[in-house]
Structures are given as structure tokens and as C-alpha cells.
A and B are shown apart, each in its own frame.
Chain A
Amino acid sequence: MISEKISQQVKNLIQQEFKTGDVILSYQDSGTPGVMTPIFIHSKEDIGKILINSLCVNNLAVYLSSFFQSEYKDIKQKGRIIITAKPCDAKSVVQMISDEQIPNEKILLIVFECDGVTTSRLIKEKVNQEFSKIDIKDGKYIVTLQDKQSQSIQAEEVRVSKCKDGSLCDLPTYYDYYFVGTEKSSKIDQHSKVMTETPLLQERLSRTEFKKIVDTELEKCIRCYACRNICPACFCSEKCIIDKPKLAVPFLDKEVNLANNILFHMIRFNHVAPNCTECGECERVCPQEIKLSIFYHYFNRLVKKEFGFVSGKSDLERQKLLNYRLGEELV
């Protein structure tokens, strides 16, 4: 569990580091039980609102590119951006730096140790009903149900899928501060290879069987573009090919049907394949609960196997797909 101590230490550090003009990106309580929401802090008085705990599942890296892009002119940044991140989120930040989306010197990356986060959706599934309150105590989630009864859940029972093994938990190659000290829950098994070695559906099933799964999953898509907009690797913002309004015939019809939905997800994954750090945000935010992990796991392993590239783990090397030098060996 991310301890209160870390939360306090991070706050103290931010107090010291904060200068006028800086923006702090962190978490606060949203008011909905079990849901944390990101917070942008512009003034020193608001630093007290920061709350970091094991419900902080959002990947704050997604907000970084907006500071340096055209659409959101209202938040063009002069000072630094102080961002608090879990080690997995820090990989997205590093990847964005190496994609030249954000300048390195404008970021103060504060990483805190984490041993698994959870979402209110997972807790609801676990207790099989709605709840009205969550307290975090002694490595357990104390859930107050709607009938005022309470139930306690071990942290490791409700970890989100990316926390099943430690492949994203190692220290990023670039950071400014790193806080250690989780408490009272079993650590994530760093040696477990659940994520990297479980056979992919694409390999396990025959193509027609797999196609059926793809069809049933993507049929549900309502194209709200939550997956695209929450993705730190999808940094085209309003320039995205999918909603380019100036084209005479839009590249992707707005009509929602299976063929168009598949096309949308094909374009998205093809574009983010070399940048995806498997943060799992797209799957988490999908209101239709589409299992997008079957795709991003596939692409990540593919890029790793064929190009030897693990996004978010190398600071300087830009992806090979974007870069070619004469004489270099192909695929």
C-alpha cells in the first residue's frame, strides 16, 4: 500500500520545490467514494489538497502534452511542471520526453514507490455491490457498504491487471526524486511473468476464433474516444486523423458500426504501438468495458521482439519506426 508517510513526504517536497508559475499535477479526493481525481495546483495554499494513496490509478502523464500543444492555449506553461507519478506512470513521462513531446527541463518528476493500485470498479466487483465509503488502513481497504455494514479487503485481492507482476514497477531511467516505503501489504512479485509470458489470445486461438472475440468486443464501442484522450501516447490532440474536420470526406465515418469501430482501434493501436507503455489506462476508462489489453499487450511484445524496443525504458533512443539511418539493418 502506498503509505500516508509517502503522501506526506511528497507534499513536503512539493512545498519546498514550488515556485510561483509552477504547476503541480497530483491527486485529490473526488467526492465519489473510492475515486481519486487529478488536481492541477497553481498556488501554494492548495498543496494541502494533495492526497496520494492506493486508489490513485490515473496516469497523469496524459496532461503533460497539453501544456505544450496548441489547443489548450489557456494553460500554456511558463514555469515547471511538478508531476507526481507511480513508477509505471513515470515510464510514460520518460517515453514522452524521448518522443520530444515535452522538454525534459520543464518537468520535475517525483516518483513514489507503489505496490499495486486499485479502482472502485474492482472493489465493487469484489464485494459484489455498491459501497458508500472506503477507508485505507493497515494494508487493507475498509469498505462501508450501502447498508452501513463494513467489509475489509486485502490490497492484493483487488490489484489492477497491470500490477499483477513487477514488469512496470522498476525504477524509470529518468526521474528527479524517488520515494520508497510502502507498507503492510505483500509486495508485487517482481519475478512473476504474468504480463510478459502469458500466451496472447492472438497466438493461443485460431484466427477465426480470435476474430470473433475482436468482433464481440469492438461491437460495443460507442466511440466516445475516452481511450484515445486518456492515452499519454496519443498526443496528436485535435490534429488526430480521426476527427480532422477539414477533410472533404472524413477519413473515418462518424457512423458507429463494427467496421468503423475496428478501423478506429486499428488506426489507434498502429499509431501508438511504438509509444505504448502498457499503462492500461485505455482499458480502465472504457465505459463499455472493452478489453483493450488484448491489443496493447500484443503490440508491446511485437515491438519488443522485432525492434528490441521497450517504450518508456530508454531515455534517449527514439523508436526505430520513426527513425531510419542509411545502412541500418531492416526489421
Chain B
Amino acid sequence: MAKQDLIYLFLCRADKRKKLLTEIEKKFPNIQTINIHCAGRFNPILAFKLLQQKAAGVILLGCDTGDCHYREGNLFSERRIFLARETLHGFGMDRNRLQALWYNPKQIAPVLESLETFTKYISNLASKGDSI
């Protein structure tokens, strides 16, 4: 798959979210899912590396604020993601290539919807010739 539309999705406890995973696989062939234990374990430099070498976009999908299995993991991550997005901007990249979504695990539709918007946004960037 070409770099310009490959998207990596870091999914908090993906092994427990079979239904969502199958939906994503069916609908978005260009999304590669990576299982992580908690959104708080997400290291932004992984996103930098992916964006620099392989992917056009990176999403982190974690639990809603307050729902975190480890109480505050996603709150740490939120700050980190903020800084990471600004880092992208600081190096002349589109900060929206890195997104964090916080969702309620029971609702799948809004997730798919935001993934849809994100893929569209990324392919739009590619068509404008905005390379990383």
C-alpha cells in the first residue's frame, strides 16, 4: 500500500473489541490496527516514526475521560498527544495527521464516522500534493 493513504490505528485493548475491529477491517482496508494495552502507553515518537517512514496518518483510539481501566492513562496521553501534534506543526507537517479519539466502547457508529472523516481528510491532503 502506498504511503499516502496508509493509516495506523492504535487501539486501546483491541483484543477485547472484536466487533469494532471487524467493522473497521471491512470498511477501511487502508487502516492497520495495532493493539495497545492502554491509550496511556501510547508513545508519540511511534507516531513520528510511522508518519516519517510509512504512514500518512496515525489515530489513537482510547476510552472516554474517566473510563480508563487504569484510571488516568488516557489523561496522560491527552497531554502527550497535544504536544505531539504541536511537534508535527513545529516541523512543518499537518498536525491533524495525528488524531486522538476518545470514545465510549459500547458505541461503534460514532467511531466509524470519525474514522471516515479522518480517512477522507488524509486522502484529501494526498490529492493536494501535501506530502510528509
Contact = CB atoms under 8 A, between A and B. Distances in A.
B87 interface: yes
B48 A321 contact: no
A267 B90 CA distance: 12
B92 A326 contact: no
B1 interface: no
Nearest to B76: A324
Contacts of A68: none
A299 to B, nearest CB: 6
B130 to A, nearest CB: 7
Interface residues of A, number: 34
Interface in B20-59: 44-45, 48-49, 52-53
A269 B78 CA distance: 18
A193 interface: no
A247 interface: no
B82 A306 contact: yes
A270 B87 contact: yes
A207 B94 contact: yes
A326 B83 contact: no
Interface stretch (A131-139, A144-152, A210-218): A210-218
B45 A295 contact: no
A290 interface: no
B72 interface: yes
A260 B130 CA distance: 19
A208 B132 CA distance: 10
Contacts of B120: none
Contact of B48 (A210, A267, A273, A274): A267
B79 A330 contact: yes
Contacts of B49: 251-252, 263
A302 interface: yes
B52 A269 contact: no
Given A273-B83, A324-B76, 11 more contacts: A208-B92, A208-B130, A210-B92, A262-B52, A266-B91, A267-B48, A269-B90, A295-B90, A302-B90, A324-B79, A330-B75
Interface of A: 202, 207-208, 210-215, 241, 251-252, 259-260, 262-263, 265-267, 269-270, 273-274, 295, 298-299, 302, 306, 320-321, 324, 326, 330-331
Pick the 7 closest A-B CB pairs, nearest first.
Answer: A211-B92, A210-B92, A263-B52, A214-B92, A270-B87, A298-B90, A266-B48
